[in-house]
């Protein structure tokens, strides 16, 4: 299942800078799209990353090591999309 992970621009920049340019997470991050939202006269930029569960796991592992402030964003999105067992 595909998911869309939104990373605030300031965290995204730090995450990308910490990644090895030859790594899969770098490629996934660089393929993100910028989304702009206006809130109370302020513009907020979020980078949207479209990925599957396996790619999200790669991003989560890398974020945990390289940019811990991004890890909760990725983990929350992965958790919300997990199938629920009844």
- Assess if residue 17 is contained within a domain: yes
| Residue 84: predicted pLDDT | 44
- Distance between CA 86 and CA 13 in Å, rounded? 40
- Assess if residue 27 is contained within a domain: yes
- Assess if residue 12 is contained within a domain: yes
- Assess if residue 86 is contained within a domain: no
Residue range of the domain that includes 64? 3-79
| Residue 82: predicted pLDDT | 54
Instruction: State both tokens at 7.
Output: 């990373």
* Full DSSP string of 20-77: -TTSHHHHHHHT-EEEEEEETTEEEEEEEEEE-HHHHHHHHHHHHHH-TTTHHHHHHH
Is the Cβ–Cβ distance between 45 and 78 less than 8 Å?
A: no
Q: For each of the chain's 86 residues, which pLDDT tens digit applies? A: 889 999 999 999 999 999 999 999 999 999 999 999 887 888 889 999 999 999 999 999 999 999 999 999 999 987 765 554 45
**What's the domain count of the chain?**
1
- Assess if residue 84 is contained within a domain: no
| Residue 81: predicted pLDDT | 57
């Amino acid at each position: 299942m595909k998911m869309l992970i939104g990373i605030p621009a300031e965290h995204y920049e730090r995450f990308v800078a910490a990644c090895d340019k030859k790594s899969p997470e770098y490629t996934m991050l660089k393929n993100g799209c910028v989304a702009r939202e206006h809130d109370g006269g302020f513009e907020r930029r979020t980078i949207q990353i479209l990925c599957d569960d396996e790619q999200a796991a790669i991003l989560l592992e890398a974020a945990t090591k390289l940019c811990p402030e991004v890890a909760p964003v990725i983990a929350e999105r992965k958790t919300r999309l997990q199938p629920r067992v009844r």
